[in-house]
Every structure is written in C-alpha cells, then in structure tokens.
C-alpha cells in the first residue's frame, strides 16, 4: 500500500449481501472468512489497523455457521459477516489491552454483551482494532502496538480512538467494526477513513460489564459503544442487533424510538459561529449534504445552536477532571505511553480542571440547562447537520504539541463533543473526496432516542453523494 495510491479497488460485499448469501447457502461463511483473512495478511502490515488476528477461531466459527445452514437453521441476520473488536471491548479470544502495556495479560471472563449480540446474530470476530492508550487521544497510536495509518494519506491522522476498526472497515479487512465514542472516538476515525459510524443515544446500546468497579461520571454519561460500517444500511443493521438494555450495565435502557412518521422532516444546518470557524472545504461538504437532503424532501434551515461553546467547554473540563483522577500515575502499575502522557498533561492544563467538588457538581448541574435548550430546539428541528471536524483531516499527532495545540484540536470538535455532552445520537456519513483525494463527510445529530430518524437522513445523504470507495 502506497501513501500516494488513491484509486479505489473492488468494492467488497456488504454485510447484508454476505449474510443473505450465506443464509441462502449461495456463499460459504468459511470462504468469506478466508478471503478477509487473506486480505488482512496482504495489507495490514502496511497500515497496522488490526492488532490481533483470529484465523483459527474465526474459521472454526465460520464452519459452524455453514453447518447450521446445511442443517436448515438460520444463523442470524449477520451470518458469516467478519467484524473487528476494539482493544477496550471485552472479547474472550484475546486480552482487553486498552492499547496499554499494563493490560497485555488481562483476558475478560466473558464477552461484552455487544460482542455476544453480534455473535448471536451470526457475525464472526476476525481481529482486534487498534486504539490509543485508554482511548485518550483523537489519534490512534500507542507504545504497545504502534500507530495506525490513514490509508488515504499516511501523513494524515487515522482519527481516534477507534482508528483501527475504522481503517479495517475502510480497507475491506473487516465488514463491520465495534468501537466506542467518549469524545468523537467513533465519528472522527470513520470520517478520516471515509466510512460510517453511529454514536447511539445514551443507554440504548449497553457497554461492558462493570464487574463491581466504580466508573467515572464522564464515562457513565458521555461514552457509548457503537458500530462502524461502509454504508448506512449495514450500519443500521448492526445498530439494530446491538440495541437493548443489559442487566450488567446499570444505565442501559429500553427506550422508545422517536416516531419516524410524526417527527418534523426538518434539519438545522450549522456551519460555524462567531467564535467557531469552519474551513471552506468543510463548508462545501456540508453544502453537498444539504443539497442531498433537499432532493430527498427534507426542509433544511440554517440555525444557531444554543450554548454550543459552553457544551464543548463543560465536556472538556469535566472529562479532564475525571482523567486526572482515573489515570493518576501513582495508581498505574505501568506508565502510560509518552504520547498519551503528553496529551493528558497538555489537555488537562489547557482545560482548567475543576479543583473543588462545588465547581464539579455545578458543571453537572449546568448540563441540564444546556440540554433543555437543545431539546426545545429539536422539538421543531429534530436533526442537526454539521461537521465532524471544523477543519479538513489533520496531520498525524494533531492533538499533540503543547497546550495551544490541544486547545486547537478541541475547538475543531465543538459540535462533535456537544453530542457526547448531551448524550445525543450522532452519525458520521461520508460525502465523497476533496481536491486532495481525501474523504469528506458530515455528521447528523438527532434528538434523544432519535437514532433511527438520524439514520434516515444519513441514508438520504449517502444516496445522493458518491461514496469515496476503498483506498489501496
């Protein structure tokens, strides 16, 4: 794979196509798995997206699926579909390392419920996706596995922290990826790789089992698990498989979805504010999505989001306050990597973490004020369209370099972080390639439990925009 190669290769089969053919005995799950394993062997060394490869186990699971089909059984809606699992999601086939040297020997006693649900639907784990140490960066690099490269341009970030899964999906090494999103960690790498991802509404997709350990408030409220796919139809299929509460996750819910037929077909467009600039190339991508929505019958209006900067600032200060408590060097058996340490140092210093419990509690109390104003807006304008990043796809290590660099990275992500702060569903959807042959895209943010409504709009954007294809 060359950093200057841009021409798309063949488009791999979608999850729906693979599962349909396997269930109909038109395609062998073993052949599907072997094809993807061969593709991993051919290209993974050049981009370092997959950290562990489950050749023997994935082939054995595929054989079981073929045997079930031969016996007249239905293996499920994702029969034979290969998927990767991020290094911080429990999977008993390998250690849950979190991209950290201190956890190389930790193998969970059971699978995370989202892994169990994928497997129950017939999907097969093919490997692990790379990430930054504990997912703390907006790039994918660590001292355990190394850097994941962006296959479109090696000098650009692959995004983070679910970068390995996004690149694996983009290059056809897997069909679906499982990651999570605390501050854009699904949408940013999907955007950088030219694929799709959904950050579900708060609680609709369960997380890993708590196992009796306390969980920081920001992780409880801001972080969610979700899928990555090459198209919205596959994304929606995986999302439906993952939905539903789990007793091991105390904040997961069985929520009623927003009424698709009763909700206004109105989308509010955000291209920047008086203090938040969106680059011209990003604005052009938003305009392309606007045109697609109008063609599909949506009412599109320009809006100013209430308290956008405040939402992003509160997310940042709360996240950095918890980060300092959670990753106290005195409590870690093995230090974080140098890059993660620098990111934590510079980000927390620039964010001004809360020093008193009164201020920390006050920030959480203010969240309700921000949420109320967004909820009022989304009564009449349910969907919000805007950038994932206010800039184009940045260079590697764009989130490092000191406090000013950390602050610049954060400012580019205001809209992305606001969705996490408020627990709203948000979908990254590609819109094509720019003049430099790099992926472009937007995100669609829905109201609480409006995931399906946001998926409908994302599908309409995808229909009218040319998918960037699979990078060499």
DSSP string, 23-80: HTTSS-HHHHHHHHHHHHHHHHHHH--EEEE-HHHHHHHHHHHHHHHHTT----TTTT
Q: What is the largest CA-CA distance in the chain?
A: 64
* Lookup: tokens for 175: 């069909």
Annotated catalytic residue: which of 174, 185, 201, 223? 185
Q: Is 416 helix (H, G, I), strand (E, B) or coil?
A: helix
CA quadruple 35, 40, 46, 52: dihedral, nearest 10: 180
> Does 185 participate in catalysis according to the annotation?
yes
The 3 state secondary structure assigned to 248-290 is CCCCCCCCCCCCCCCCCCEEEECCCECCECCCHHHHHHHHHHH
| Residue 359, number of CB atoms within 10 A of its CB | 13
Catalytic residue among 161, 201, 252, 285: 161
Cβ contacts of residue 423 below 8 Å, gap of 6+? 201, 202, 203, 221, 222, 448
Cβ neighbour number for residue 120 with a 10 Å cutoff: 13
Reading the block at residue 334, the tokens are: 């093995």
Q: Which of 58, 86, 132, 174 is catalytic?
A: 86
The span from the first CA to the last CA of the chain, in angstroms, equals 6
Cβ neighbours of residue 10 closer than 8 Å, sequence gap 6 or more: 470
Dist. CA 184–CA 190, nearest whole Å:
10
Q: How many CA atoms lie within 13 A of 30 on its CB side?
A: 9
**What's the CA gap between 201 and 456, in Å, rounded?**
15
Catalytic residues: 86, 161, 185
């Amino acid at each position: 794979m060359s950093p200057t190669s841009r021409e798309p290769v063949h488009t791999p089969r979608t999850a729906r196509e693979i599962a349909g053919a396997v269930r109909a005995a038109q395609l062998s799950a073993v052949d599907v798995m072997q094809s993807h394993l061969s593709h991993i062997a051919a290209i993974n060394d050049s981009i370092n997206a997959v950290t562990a490869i489950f050749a023997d186990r994935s082939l054995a699971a595929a054989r079981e699926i073929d045997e079930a089909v031969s016996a007249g059984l239905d293996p499920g809606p994702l029969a034979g579909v290969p998927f990767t699992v991020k290094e911080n999601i429990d999977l008993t086939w390998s250690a849950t390392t979190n991209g950290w040297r201190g956890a190389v020997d930790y193998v969970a006693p059971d699978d995370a419920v989202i892994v169990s649900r994928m497997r129950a639907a017939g999907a097969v784990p093919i490997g692990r996706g790379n990430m930054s140490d504990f997912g703390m960066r907006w790039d994918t690099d660590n001292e355990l596995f190394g850097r994941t490269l962006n296959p479109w341009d090696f000098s650009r970030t692959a995004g983070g922290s679910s970068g390995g899964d996004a690149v694996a999906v983009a290059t056809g090494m897997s069909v679906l990826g499982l990651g999570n999103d605390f501050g854009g960690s699904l949408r940013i790498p999907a955007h950088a790789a030219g694929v799709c991802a959904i950050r579900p509404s708060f609680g609709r997709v369960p997380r890993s089992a708590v196992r009796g350990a306390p969980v920081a408030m920001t992780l409880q409220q801001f972080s969610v698990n979700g899928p990555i796919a090459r198209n919205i139809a596959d994304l929606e299929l995986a999302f439906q498989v993952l939905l539903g509460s789990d007793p091991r996750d105390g904040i997961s819910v069985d929520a009623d979805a927003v009424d698709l037929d009763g909700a206004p077909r109105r989308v509010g467009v955000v291209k920047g504010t008086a203090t938040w600039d969106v680059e011209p190339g990003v604005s052009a991508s938003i305009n392309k999505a606007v045109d697609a929505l109008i063609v599909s019958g949506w009412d599109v209006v320009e809006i100013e989001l209430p308290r956008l900067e405040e939402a992003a600032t509160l997310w940042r200060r709360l996240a950095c306050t918890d980060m300092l408590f959670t990753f106290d060097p005195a409590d870690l058996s093995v230090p974080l990597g140098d890059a993660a340490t620098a990111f934590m140092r510079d980000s927390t210093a620039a964010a001004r973490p809360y020093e008193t419990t009164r201020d920390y509690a006050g920030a959480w109390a203010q969240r309700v004020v921000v949420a109320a104003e967004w909820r009022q807006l989304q009564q009449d304008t349910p969907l919000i369209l805007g950038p994932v990043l206010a800039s184009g796809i940045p260079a590697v290590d764009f989130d490092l370099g000191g406090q000013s660099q950390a602050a610049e990275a954060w400012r580019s992500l205001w809209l992305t972080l606001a969705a996490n702060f408020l627990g709203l569903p948000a979908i990254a959807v590609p819109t094509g390639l720019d003049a430099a042959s790099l992926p472009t895209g937007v995100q669609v943010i829905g109201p609480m439990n409006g995931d399906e409504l946001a998926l409908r709009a994302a599908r309409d954007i995808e229909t009218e925009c040319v998918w960037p294809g699979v990078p060499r």
